[in-house]
Structure 1
Amino acid sequence: MTAAYSSGAEEEVILKTIGTKGLITLNRPKALNALNLSMIRKIYPQMTKWENDPHTTMVIIKGTGDKAFCAGGDVRAVTEAAKVGDPLSQNFFKEEYILNNKIGTYGIPYIALIDGITMGGGVGLSVHGTFRVATERTLFAMPETAIGLFPDVGGGYFLPRLGGKLGIYLALTGFRLKGRDVYKSGVATHFVQSSKSTDIPDKDFVLEPHIEQIDRLFDGQTVEEICQNLQSDGSEWATKHLESLRTMSPTSLKITLRQLLEGGAMNLQECLQMEYRLSQRCAEDHDFTEGVRAVLVEKDQNPKWQPATIEEVTQERVDWYFSPLPSERELTL
C-alpha cells in the first residue's frame, strides 16, 4: 500500500493507492463526511493523476463510519461567507461542479460506495460515476428546496433521466429513498448488504403504488400546475405532498422545476453551467441564507420565505436566476 497523498488520521480526506486501485476516503465522520472546499482541492488533482496513470485501473470512493457516505456540502460555511462578500460562495460551487464534471467524464471506472446518508454534495460525488453501490443503510435525498437552494451538483442532468416524473417528484418534495429503493429508483447501479449476517427480504419499490400518480400529477410546466393537480386529485397522498410543497421555498420550487425541465435536454456540462448561475443567484438572494438559518443553524424549522407564496414568485424573478453571470464569473468546463 502506498499513500498517494500524505495523510494522517486527522485528514478530512484520505487518498491512497492500493495496488492498481485509487481509494478516496471521506474522513469527517462527526460532520457526516460533509464536503468542504479543502477536501475538493485535495480530491480533484489526485483523481487527475490516477486518470493519467496507466497502472491505475479504477478509483473507489467511500466514507468513514457507518452513518454517512457524505451528507452534503458545507452550505453553512457558504452562506456565512456570502453574507460578508467572501469569495467562498463562488469558489465552493465552482470547484465542486468542476469535480462533479470530472467524475462524470472520468477515463477509468469510478465506484462510489454510498453506504449511509447520501445527500446534496454526496450525490454529486457519486451519481455521475460509473457505479454507485447502495446498502441497506443508504439514505438518499435531494432536500434542497427546504433550505432555499435547488438540487445542484448535476441534479438537472440525472434527475430528469430517472424515468417518468420520478426525478421531478424527488427534487420538489425532497422525498427520501432508503436501501434497495435507491437501487430500484435508478440512483444506484448496484445493491449489496453492508454485512453478510443481515438478510433483508427484497420488497417492492416503495413508490411503486404511487408511480402512476407521480407521473400524472407531477407532469406540469409550472409549479402552480403541479399544485393544482395535487389539489384536484384530493387523495390523502396528494394532499400530504401539497402540504409539504407549501413549506418549501417558493422560489426554490420554481427554479428547480425549470432546472429539470431544461436539464432533460442538456448534457452534463451544460447543466452544471446552468446550475452555477443558479448557485450564485441563491447566494445573492434571501431564501438560501434564511433556509440554512432555519434548518441547519438555529434549527427552529420556521423559515420566512421571501416571497412567501408560489404565486408571488414572478417569471422575471425566475428569469433573473437563469440569466448569464458576468463572463469572467461563468463556470468554464
Structure 2
Amino acid sequence: MENNDVLVERTGQLGHLVLNRPAAINALNHGMVRTIAAALDEWEADPSVATVLISGAGERGLCAGGDIVTIYHDARSGGSESETFWRDEYHLNARIARYPKPIVTLMDGVVLGGGVGISAHASHRIVSERSRIGMPETGIGFVPDVGGTWLLAHAPGELGLHAALTGTMVSGADAILMGLASHFVDSAILPTLIAELAERGASAVVGRYGQVPPESALARERWWIDEAYAPDDAGTILERLASMGHPAASAAAETIAAKSPTAVTVTLAALRRARLAGSLEEALNQEFRVSLRALRWPDFAEGIRAQLVDKDRNPAWSPAALADVDAGVVAGAFADVGALELGLSAPDATATDVSVPSNTAPQTTAKGS
C-alpha cells in the first residue's frame, strides 16, 4: 500500500486515508485508487479498525476528480489504460457504498467528479461552509460517472439533472438537500472531529458535531428547475429555460448551450436510465459502457484540450448543435460491450438497495458506529 499520493495512517481505532496531491487538488490517479482499495481490504479484516476516514491534503479541497490530462493522452493513443483505471475506480465506488464498517468522508473544499465517487457513496459524508461539489463532465465532452448518475438521478425533483447538464458546483447545504452529503460541520471543527474518531464511534462523533446546515440556495430554485428540466429532450429543456423569463434559468440555458451537445444529450438519457436502475451497481455498469464509448468521441479529447491542455476555453464541438446529435450515437453509448462489461452486481438483488442517497440531514446511518 506504499504510495506517497495516498497517506495510509492508523490512529487508535481509526484508519485514515489522506489523498496527498495538494498541488493538483488531490486529483485521482490509478495508483491512488489501488492504494485506497488495498487499505479497505486490509482494514475490513482488522478488528482493531472501527472507522475509516477519507480526507484530502492541503486547503483547497478533498479531490478535484480524476487525472483527466492523463486520460486525454491515453485516449489519443488508444485508451487501454483508461479502461483499466475506470474499471478499478468504479469497483472502488461500489466497494465504498457497501463497506461493512463506517466510512467518514470530509467533503471540505472542492469535490469534483471522481472526488464525488470516493466520498458521496460513504456512510458519513461531511460538508462544510467551504464545500464546492460538482460533476462538470459535460464541459469536457464526457458524462457523469463514478456512480454520479445514480446519485444525481435520485436527488429531489430535477435538481440532479440541473447539476449534471450545467456542471455547476453546489454548496454543502445544496449537497445535503440533493443527497450527496449527510452532515454539515464547520470547517474549524474538523480537526477536533478527526481526533475523536480515533477513540469513539463514527455515528456518535459525527452526530455530536453535525450542525443544522444553512438554507440551500437550490431549494429556492426548485420551482423553475423542476418545470424546465421535466422533458426528456435536451433541446426542449433549453427552450423552456430560455423562455421562463427568470435570470437564473436563462443563465442555465446559456451554460448548457456551451457544453458538448453529444455529452448533454447522453447525460440526460443516462440520468433518466439511472433513475430506473435497481442499484448503484447497475448504474455503474451503465456508466462504464458510456465511458468506453465517450473515450472515442471527438468531443472528449477536444473538451480536455480546450479546458485543461491548451486552456483556450474554446472547444470546437462535433456536432456543434443539439439538433445534430445522432440518435444512433446516443443509443450506442448504452449498448453492451461484451467481454469488456464491468459486471458489478448488488449483494442481494431482491433486497431494498441501501445505497440510495438520503435527502435528510443531520442523520445517523445503518452502517454501524
Pair in the same fold by TM > 0.5: yes
Q: Which of 242, 246, 249 matches 2:260?
A: 249
Partner of 1:225: 236
Cα drift, residue 19 of structure 1: 1.8
Cα drift, residue 66 of structure 1: 1.0
Q: 1:203 and 1:20, CA in 2 relative to 1: closer, same or farther beyond 3 A?
A: closer
Cα drift, residue 236 of structure 1: 2.3
Instruction: Note if 1:279 corresponds to 2:272.
Output: no
AA at the equivalent of 1:303: P
Instruction: Note if 1:303 corresponds to 2:310.
Output: no
Q: Secondary structure at the match of 2:55?
A: strand
Instruction: Note if 1:146 corresponds to 2:146.
Output: no
What per-residue deviation string (whole Å, max 9, x for no partner) do you get for residues 45-103 of structure 1? 21011112222211110000110100110111012111112521111111110110101
Contact 1:78 1:92 in 2 (8 A): no
AA at the equivalent of 1:244: T
Cα drift, residue 288 of structure 1: 0.7
User: Whole-Å Cα distance in 2 between the matches of residues 111 and 40 of structure 1?
Assistant: 17
Cα drift, residue 181 of structure 1: 3.2
Q: Which of 28, 35, 58 matches 1:35?
A: 28
AA at the equivalent of 2:268: L
Cα drift, residue 188 of structure 1: 1.3
Q: Which of 265, 269, 281 matches 1:269?
A: 281
Cα drift, residue 202 of structure 1: 6.3
User: Whole-Å Cα distance in 1 between the matches of residues 44 and 157 of structure 2?
Assistant: 35
User: Unaligned 5+ residue runs, structure 1?
Assistant: none
User: Whole-Å Cα distance in 1 between the matches of residues 78 and 266 of structure 2?
Assistant: 24
Contact 1:79 1:89 in 2 (8 A): no
Cα drift, residue 30 of structure 1: 0.5
Aligned residue pairs total 323
User: Unaligned 5+ residue runs, structure 2?
Assistant: 191-210, 345-369
Partner of 1:207: 218
Partner of 1:314: 326
Contact 1:173 1:241 in 2 (8 A): yes
Q: Which of 282, 292, 311 matches 2:304?
A: 292
Cα drift, residue 324 of structure 1: 1.3
Contact 1:60 1:110 in 2 (8 A): yes
AA at the equivalent of 1:157: W
Q: Secondary structure at the match of 1:332?
A: coil
AA at the equivalent of 2:230: D
Contact 2:174 2:219 in 1 (8 A): no
Instruction: Note if 1:130 corresponds to 2:123.
Output: yes
Q: 1:233 and 1:93, CA in 2 relative to 1: closer, same or farther beyond 3 A?
A: same
Partner of 2:10: 17
Q: Secondary structure at the match of 1:140?
A: strand
AA at the equivalent of 1:274: Q
Cα drift, residue 15 of structure 1: 1.0
Query: What's the TM-score, normalizing by structure 2?
Result: 0.84
User: Whole-Å Cα distance in 1 between the matches of residues 81 and 130 of structure 2?
Assistant: 32
AA at the equivalent of 1:211: R
Contact 1:21 1:58 in 2 (8 A): yes
Q: 1:66 and 1:92, CA in 2 relative to 1: closer, same or farther beyond 3 A?
A: same
**Which sits farther off after the overlay, 85-94 or 283-292?**
85-94
Q: 1:32 and 1:259, CA in 2 relative to 1: closer, same or farther beyond 3 A?
A: same
CA RMSD of aligned residues (A): 1.7
Q: Considering Cα pairs closer than 8 Å and 6+ residues apart, tell me whether 1 or 2 has the greater RCO.
A: 2
User: Whole-Å Cα distance in 2 between the matches of residues 243 and 221 of structure 1?
Assistant: 19
User: Whole-Å Cα distance in 2 between the matches of residues 6 and 297 of structure 1?
Assistant: 30
User: Whole-Å Cα distance in 1 between the matches of residues 118 and 244 of structure 2?
Assistant: 37
